[in-house]
Amino acid sequence: MDKRLQKIAAIEIVVLLAIWQALASLEWIPAYLSSPYVVGSEMWALIVSGELFTNAASSLYRSLVSFLLVMVLGIVLGIAAGFFKPVGIFFQPIVDVLNPVPKIALLPILMVWFGISDTTRILLIFLTAFFPCFIATKDGVHGVKQVFVWAAENMGASKFQILWKVILPASLPKIFDGLRVSLGLTFVMMFSSEMIGSSNGLGLGFMILLADMAGRTDLMFVSVFFIALLGFLFDRILLAVRARLLWWSENRG
Amino acid sequence: MENKTPAIEIEKLGKVYTRGKEEVTAIQEISLKIPEGKFVSIVGPSGCGKSTFLHIVGGFIPKSSGKVRIRGKEVDKPGPDRGMMFQESALFPWKNVFDNVAWGLEIQGMEKSKRDEVVEHYLKLVNLWDFRKNLPSELSGGMKQRISLARVLAFNPDVLLMDEPFGALDAQTREKMQVELQRIWQESNKSVMFVTHDIDEAVFLSDIVVVFSGRPAVVKEIIEIDFQRPRTLDVHKTQEFMDIRNHIWDLLHQEQGTSDEEGM
Amino acid sequence: MENKTPAIEIEKLGKVYTRGKEEVTAIQEISLKIPEGKFVSIVGPSGCGKSTFLHIVGGFIPKSSGKVRIRGKEVDKPGPDRGMMFQESALFPWKNVFDNVAWGLEIQGMEKSKRDEVVEHYLKLVNLWDFRKNLPSELSGGMKQRISLARVLAFNPDVLLMDEPFGALDAQTREKMQVELQRIWQESNKSVMFVTHDIDEAVFLSDIVVVFSGRPAVVKEIIEIDFQRPRTLDVHKTQEFMDIRNHIWDLLHQEQGTSDEEGM
Amino acid sequence: MKKGWKFLIEYQSLIWIVVAWELVVFLQIMPERLFPSLSKVLVVAFELITTGMLLENLPITLFRVFAGFALAAVVGVPLGLLMSRSKLLNDLVQPIFSLGFPIPRVALYPILVFILGLGSASKITMIFLECLFPIVLNTYYGSTRVGKLYLWAAQNMGANRSQVFWRVLLPATMPSIFTGLKIALPMAFIIAILTEMIGATAGMGYLLTYMSASLMQEKVLACVVLITLVGYLLNLLIQKIQRKYVFWQ
Amino acid sequence: ACGSGQTNQPAQPAGEQKPAEQTASAGNQPVEIRLGGGFASEEPFWLMQVDPSLTPNQGKSYTLNITQFRANADRLNAYQANQIDIASIGQGATMLAASQGIQLKVIGSVVKDSPGKGFNTKFMALKDSGIKSMADLKGKVIGIPDFKAPTDLWARAAVRSAGLDPDTDVKYAVIPIPSMGEAVKSKKIDVGVFPQPFFETANASGEFVEVFNSKTGVNVEEDFLVMMANPDFVTKNEQAIKDFLSDYTNTVKYYEENGEAARQKLIDAKKVQADPALYVKMTDNNRSVDGTVNIEAWGKIQEMLVAEKWLDKPVDPNTIIDMSYLPK
Ligand SMILES: Nc1ncnc2c1ncn2[C@@H]1O[C@H](COP(=O)(O)OP(=O)(O)OP(=O)(O)O)[C@@H](O)[C@H]1O
Ligand SMILES: Nc1ncnc2c1ncn2[C@@H]1O[C@H](COP(=O)(O)OP(=O)(O)OP(=O)(O)O)[C@@H](O)[C@H]1O
Ligand SMILES: [Mg+2]
Ligand SMILES: [Mg+2]
């Protein structure tokens, strides 16, 4: 990771927090906006009690499983749809139709099938985060230069080898564009999926809900922050992986 | 020889590119029979349809009419029996030079130690062993072309299809590559189909030179060249060489000016 | 002539490419002074640093050391005073042939009717007027090169930097283009810096031929050529032409084998 | 005849979905109240249209979607392009996105309501924020991949910075920009619905909660079908535009 | 008392084929009761989770699995999807569901909004807003958390009782309850609705004044939240339900008698996140200690719902209310 970037990120965060704290201390912003100090101390309390981590663990489990699914299915289907015309034609209408569906509305149906379970939540996250990855992958495949495929075919590569060894690496830069959006959405949806009701009562999204229902914006901010933090962490991990895999590319990042 | 199955047989081949409602006829009608083990050059004006022709023989793009057979088998898709060297660089930008050359061998399932040996051999042949760890984007135009050459030679197909393989090379390197190509071809029993702009090169290397007309391409003349093999660069100075060269030159000169002006 | 400001002045130019910890010296040290209105060719082995050199003069990539001045002004960024024709196609894939050629003129603020006239003139010059509505992706390699030529000529810069502009052209088209380029250059007062692999072409066109050594490039020899202008193709047959040609040939032959083997 | 056949093939996946749907209903795999037959849903959807409910709410939602989305595009595309040209800007903006995008903004929407009110302003802002990331990212990465030869050629012909920016970088990045727009548009739509579900007096999201409050799944599904239909059409529109402007790929 | 003598076939709503995972074997295994609740006013349920000493039968004849949902509709969907056996849900929603043919049984009351007894949900405005009486409401905006919910009914009924037309004289805006205070303060709305514990917070700030309350227009004892159960499940697990309700009433009794201590327990167990200082001391709504609902009042509420056209066809409350499982 870029040292300079880290530094700038750190400075930005500190400045933002400082402004917020100043506004809060001067009481220029309403009390419900809380203040970094209050949020910080609440966060510390939750860290000490370990509560934050148990909640984060449940949430992370859901979002990472979903993201893994997004990654595997998004890339595999995206490549298949981009490369094989019939597959692309088959999937195009489904994607076009399902993409704008407000997924929350599908909840009752998912619930019948999978219960109020992690499966339902994971599916919900998956259904939202899938599309950016799929669309970017498909567009990436369309952008692959024809001669690369020809050269591979020419050397007797099988369809699978072409997909795996030519199409995949050639569209990888664009795939990562999509993955980055998907990853962010995963964390956003982690919250929404826990809003529907949580049976074991664990999860950062559930914490937000609970705090919100009790009018505790400070606690809400703690959870929101922690989600942001986790999101940031994983975003950086993704960028690092990207830089490694795209070492050959001019914009490895 | 004539009654054996020809290595390459092209029958009334035609190609029309369409884009929306417009049509461009790239190849009018070409018929050709190339016996096994021959070195065939194709020359013709810029934009007449040489690359298109090679792409069809390679099985990369569909033809509009006619038939293409390699050793009696109809061509309908690319295959490792025909090694193609494209006019533009087709090196994978995500693999370094070594891995680019090794790629095809790996696909063919050649074992690693053998593969490394072969790759080293051909990279040294094109004078680029020292650049094996570089990425294609870090090479000059001529270097990329030499890597592509190494790649297709290492791959060792029965039929070599080469689209202006030496176009970006300086005269010296080009000569060296010509000599090497001739040697490799002679040692094996390959058939070569070689597109070039350099009439000297065509005459020097080929058993047969096929002259294409301007677009839409038809075969203007087929010239057999039977200097003894192996040929050395001295061949260039013989009268016979000069005559053939000038003849082709004249043929092409007739084409000049008609090639692109016909409109589309 | 010597006491005027030279059109192009290069002083101890050096260029090192770095990638991670590795370094490739592409240009060792080059010093050159080119007077106004001269046609200069650069020849040298594949991968020696010719394109790199032109890119630096064009202001596209930073130099590692030394100075480059065009008409006394230090070069630090690209500018419309130097028209560059790249080795690889730099045509905009989203514009058709006509608009590609017109682009630079539009940028310069030339009014539409005038622009259309100029574009038509140059597209007809390169024999591709009929393809004006096509996209670059629908053209053959040689056609793309001719469009690039039309683009840079239409643009009419004081200094022309050309990197193997005729490499993908067949012999006839190439000759025609050579003659046209000579005419255009003579009618204007342009300075031309012309990279080529074709020694005949270099000798035929140039006032000065600069021979580069193998990588890392240094100037091996500067050869002045003073056949009278305008030259016709017959020049090729003169003894003097042959002598110069063979001299350059020999110079380059010495380079052979040293160019890439040094490693990096 | 041939055209009809082609149409069937092209949309076969949807036909399969419809068939599967009806099959689930027919075999009573799901409680019918939660999973009414498509025909029933369509009848209800038609009712929604004829009773004017759709016409009352759809334009409001569409206005918000378009406003937020257009704003995100107008800001996001130049920002993405600029980030690829300026390392400083990139370094400044990247961390904000890394940190800001995973935040569940919908959870903070009520706070936004205080600042901007319940009307369209807060919703458009949310949509804008939500769409910005995919648009900026795809534009940014896309423009870093633009071949340097194109930029060089343009500079060489005397194009100034803004000309290089608008007339080379922008068109050359177009394919990636459209990828971003295609990803963002449905998101805009969903966010419009979501924010309208949280607090609104009109719009498709409001209609959806209203129907959901009246406890009739078929009405809810009818809303979803209508929303989907509109989203689908919007998507077609953007694809059409894409085909028009990125014909060269 | 163990859950013996029960037939243990899967509980199915509306002839559903979905197997319910919680089926207990015929033996001594406790029956799992899946209860769907919300985030407010369900203190007794939470206490049952927190303090086992109040629930002697829990873990023996039944186990309790509580899932929290946000909206009534979510709970009802989960109920229809056979994901919960008992829903703690609004009275109106129950009638609405029943009138649409959803099979259900109301087996007990959770919390009430009774005239003159316990807390009544308040509608408040800013002190300096100039809204002193109901008459000042004309042209003003009232914030409610949801349409067609009790709060909506209360507001409309109150407006009507002041001689105004609830459809034309005032406007409504949907605002989440937690944001209500700020919405009023920032003048996004003029009057907001404040249930507990938000009323305590708002009241403590001293900036608000009550304009009317839930009983201003609806002057009957409402069963604000009730337990709506799956009829099949109830008949098949009769003993478990009885044991559960007996534990429940036990807990309510404790809660009513030791309100502050009970709420402190919830705070300590982190069941409730509200500001402890205000929460522990707050006045809570009325609850029925024996769990009974007020059938007579149901009829009155239903009349109002029909009058508002929220309910198409009335249902006979007697057919859906079944208090036979409550301890005698
Ligand atoms: N994808 C395409 N779509 C439309 N027309 C095309 C396409 N590719 C090639 N053409 C046209 O077909 C003709 C032949 O092209 P081709 O590339 O085969 O020429 P060539 O003989 O290889 O020329 P060169 O020597 O310049 O490489 C040209 O007129 C070109 O415009
Ligand atoms: N981006 C780069 N990174 C690292 N090395 C590079 C890069 N570009 C060029 N080089 C190296 O610089 C040297 C000179 O390259 P250049 O393209 O200038 O050669 P050239 O003389 O134009 O060759 P050719 O005649 O083959 O086009 C080569 O050895 C090449 O490997
Ligand atoms: Mg060609
Ligand atoms: Mg070069």
3-state SS, one letter per residue, for chain E: CCCCCCCCCCCCHHHCCCCCCCCCCCCCCCEEEEEEECCCCCHHHHHHHHCHHHCCCECCCEEEEEEECCCHHHHHHHHHCCCCCEEEEEHHHHHHHHHCCCCCEEEEEEEEEECCEECCCEEEEEHHHCCCCHHHHCCCEEEECCCCCHHHHHHHHHHHHCCCCCCCCCEEEECCHHHHHHHHHCCCCCEEEECCCHHHHHHHHCCEEEEEEHHHHCCCCEEEEEEEECHHHHHHCHHHHHHHHHHHHHHHHHHHHCHHHHHHHHHHCCCCCCCHHHHHHCCCEECCCCCCCCHHHHHHHHHHHHHCCCCCCCCCHHHHECHHHCCC
Q: Which of A212-216, B12-16, C22-26, D118-122 has the lowest mean pLDDT?
A: A212-216
Per-residue pLDDT tens digits for C21-51: 788 888 888 999 888 889 999 999 888 889 9
Domain A38-250: assigned CATH number: 1.10.3720.10
A116 with E83: Cβ contact below 8 A: yes
Q: Which atom of ligand 1 is nearest to the CA of B24?
A: 5
Q: Which residues of A73-91 are buried (b: 16+ CB within 10 A; e: fewer)?
A: ebbebbbbbbbeeeebbbb
Q: Give the per-residue pLDDT at E216.
A: 83
Q: Whose CA is nearest to atom 1 of ligand 1?
A: C138
Give how far A160 is from chain B: nearest CA, Å: 11
Give how far D163 is from chain A: nearest CA, Å: 23
CA separation for the pair B66, B77 (Å, rounded):
15
Q: Which of A139, A144, A216, A226 has the most D C-beta neighbours within 10 Å, making it the best mutation to test the interface with D?
A: A139
Q: CB–CB of C252/B172 below 8 Å?
A: yes
Run of H or E including C147: helix C141-155
Domains of chain D (ranges, CATH numbers): 1-30 (no CATH), 36-245 (1.10.3720.10)
Q: Which residues of E touch D110 (CB under 8 A)?
A: 176, 178-179
Q: Is C227 helix (H, G, I), strand (E, B) or coil?
A: coil
Q: Which of A169-173, B51-55, B224-228 has the lowest mean pLDDT?
A: B224-228
Domains of chain C (ranges, CATH numbers): 1-81+192-264 (3.40.50.300)
In the 3-class helix/strand/coil scheme, how is A165-196 assigned residue by residue? HHHHHHHHHHHHHHHHHHHHHHHHHHHHHHHC
**From residue D105, how far is each of A21, A189, C138, D55, D99 by CA, in Å?**
21, 10, 47, 29, 12
Could you tell me which residue, E83 or C203, shows the higher pLDDT? C203
Q: Which residues of B touch C146 (CB under 8 A)?
A: 46
Q: CB–CB of B227/B235 below 8 Å?
A: yes
Backbone dihedral angles phi then psi of residue B89, each to the nearest 5 degrees: -65, 130
Backbone dihedral angles phi then psi of residue D70, each to the nearest 5 degrees: -65, -40
Packing angle between helix A204-213 and helix A168-195, nearest 10 degrees? 30
Q: Answer whether B26 contacts ligand 1 (Cβ < 6 A).
A: yes
Residue of C78, C92, C137 lying closest to D156 (CB–CB): C78
Which ligand is located closest to the Cα atom of residue B163? 3
Chains linked to A by 3 or more Cβ pairs within 8 Å:
B, D, E
Is residue D107 within 8 angstroms of chain E, CB to CB? no
Burial, E90: exposed, middle or buried (Cβ in 10 Å; 0-12, 13-18, 19+)?
Answer: buried
Q: CB–CB of C98/C154 below 8 Å?
A: no
Q: How far is the CA of D152 from the centre of ligand 2 (A)?
A: 17
pLDDT band per the 50, 70, 90 thresholds, residue A198: low
pLDDT band per the 50, 70, 90 thresholds, residue D232: confident
Q: Which residues of A touch B92 (CB under 8 A)?
A: 148, 151, 166, 169-170
Q: Whose CA is nearest to atom 8 of ligand 2?
A: B138
Q: CB–CB of A122/A66 below 8 Å?
A: yes
Residues 66-105 of C with CB under 8 A from B: 87-88
Burial, E69: exposed, middle or buried (Cβ in 10 Å; 0-12, 13-18, 19+)?
Answer: buried
Q: How far is the CA of C53 from the centre of ligand 4 (A)?
A: 9
Proportion of chain B above pLDDT 70, given as a percent: 95
pLDDT band per the 50, 70, 90 thresholds, residue E5: very low
pLDDT band per the 50, 70, 90 thresholds, residue E112: confident
Q: Give the per-residue pLDDT at E238.
A: 84
- Nearby residues of A132 by Cβ (< 8 Å), 6 or more positions away: A74, A178, A179, A181, A182, A185, D134, D183
C touches E, CB cut-off 8 Å, minimum 3 pairs: no
B touches A, CB cut-off 8 Å, minimum 3 pairs: yes
Q: Answer whether C52 contacts ligand 2 (Cβ < 6 A).
A: yes
D touches C, CB cut-off 8 Å, minimum 3 pairs: yes
A198 with E68: Cβ contact below 8 A: yes
CA separation for the pair A141, D45 (Å, rounded):
38
Run of H or E including A93: helix A85-98
Q: Which residues of B touch C90 (CB under 8 A)?
A: none
CA separation for the pair C124, B61 (Å, rounded):
30
CA separation for the pair D27, D23 (Å, rounded):
6
Q: CB–CB of D141/A239 below 8 Å?
A: no
Q: Whose CA is nearest to atom 3 of ligand 1?
A: C138
Residue of D158, D174, D248 lying closest to C107 (CB–CB): D158
- Nearby residues of E152 by Cβ (< 8 Å), 6 or more positions away: E144, E146, E172
Residue of A nearest to B56 (CA): A150
Give the predicted TM-score (pTM) of the model.
0.86
Residue of E21, E74, E82 lying closest to A197 (CB–CB): E74
C78 with D155: Cβ contact below 8 A: yes
CA separation for the pair E204, E264 (Å, rounded):
19
pLDDT band per the 50, 70, 90 thresholds, residue E328: confident
Q: Report CA E158 to chain centroid distance, whole Å.
A: 20
Q: Give the per-residue pLDDT at B85.
A: 92
pLDDT at D125 over 70: yes
Q: Which residues of C222-233 are buried (b: 16+ CB within 10 A; e: fewer)?
A: ebebebeeebee
pLDDT band per the 50, 70, 90 thresholds, residue E145: confident
Two tokens at C117?
A: 């006239």
pLDDT at A194 over 90: no
Q: CB–CB of D134/D186 below 8 Å?
A: no
Per-residue pLDDT tens digits for B156-177: 888 999 999 998 888 888 888 8
CA separation for the pair D118, C125 (Å, rounded):
66
Q: Give the per-residue pLDDT at E308.
A: 79
Q: Give the per-residue pLDDT at A108.
A: 72
Range E24-50 average pLDDT: 79
Q: Answer whether C48 contacts ligand 2 (Cβ < 6 A).
A: yes
E81 with A112: Cβ contact below 8 A: yes
Please give the single-letter amino acid code of residue B84.
Answer: M
Residue of D29, D34, D117 lying closest to E188 (CB–CB): D117
CA separation for the pair C219, C213 (Å, rounded):
6
Q: Give the per-residue pLDDT at B155.
A: 86
- Nearby residues of A6 by Cβ (< 8 Å), 6 or more positions away: none
Nearest to E275 by CA among C168, A218, D163: A218
Range D169-182 average pLDDT: 91
Q: CB–CB of C256/B176 below 8 Å?
A: yes
Please give the single-letter amino acid code of residue D189.
Answer: F
Run of H or E including B40: strand B39-43
CA separation for the pair B90, B86 (Å, rounded):
7
- Nearby residues of E273 by Cβ (< 8 Å), 6 or more positions away: A210, A211, A213, A214, A216, A219
pLDDT at E99 over 50: yes
Low-confidence spans in chain C with pLDDT less than 70:
1-4, 255-264
Q: CB–CB of C162/C85 below 8 Å?
A: yes
Residue of C59, C83, C93 lying closest to D248 (CB–CB): C93
Domains of chain A, residue spans = 1-33, 38-250
Per-residue pLDDT tens digits for E231-289: 888 888 888 888 888 888 888 888 888 888 888 888 888 778 777 888 888 888 888 88
Give how far D121 is from chain E: nearest CA, Å: 13
Per-residue pLDDT tens digits for A103-143: 877 777 777 778 778 888 899 889 989 999 999 999 999 98
Q: How many CB pairs under 8 A join C and D?
A: 63
Per-residue pLDDT tens digits for B102-141: 998 988 888 999 999 999 999 998 889 989 988 998 899 8
Q: Which of B193, B215, B260 maximizes ligand 1 atoms within 8 Å of its Cβ, making it the mutation to test the pocket?
A: B215
Q: Give the per-residue pLDDT at C257.
A: 47
Q: Which atom of ligand 2 is nearest to the CA of C15?
A: 12
Residue identified by tokens 């007027």 is C129
Q: How many residues does chain C have?
A: 264
Residue of B90, B96, B103 lying closest to A147 (CB–CB): B90
pLDDT at D111 over 70: yes
pLDDT at E17 over 60: no
pLDDT at B99 over 90: yes
Q: Whose CA is nearest to atom 4 of ligand 2?
A: B138
Phi-psi region of C109 (alpha: psi -120 to 50; beta: other; left: phi over 0): left
Proportion of chain D above pLDDT 90, given as a percent: 19
Which ligand is located closest to the Cα atom of residue C42? 2
- Nearby residues of D31 by Cβ (< 8 Å), 6 or more positions away: A112, E13, E14, E16, E80, E81, E82
Q: Give the per-residue pLDDT at C255.
A: 66
Per-residue pLDDT tens digits for A32-70: 677 888 888 888 888 888 878 888 888 888 889 999 999
Range D123-150 average pLDDT: 90
**From residue B244, how far is each of B226, C204, C238, E175 by CA, in Å?**
11, 24, 22, 92
Q: Which atom of ligand 2 is nearest to the CA of C52?
A: 18
Q: Give the per-residue pLDDT at D1.
A: 57
Give the number of other CB atoms < 10 A from CB of residue A10: 11
ipTM of the complex: 0.85
Q: Answer whether C143 contacts ligand 1 (Cβ < 6 A).
A: yes
State the average pLDDT for chain B.
87
C78 with D152: Cβ contact below 8 A: yes
pLDDT at D29 over 80: no
Q: Which residues of B touch C24 (CB under 8 A)?
A: 138
Per-residue pLDDT tens digits for B28-49: 889 998 888 899 999 999 888 9
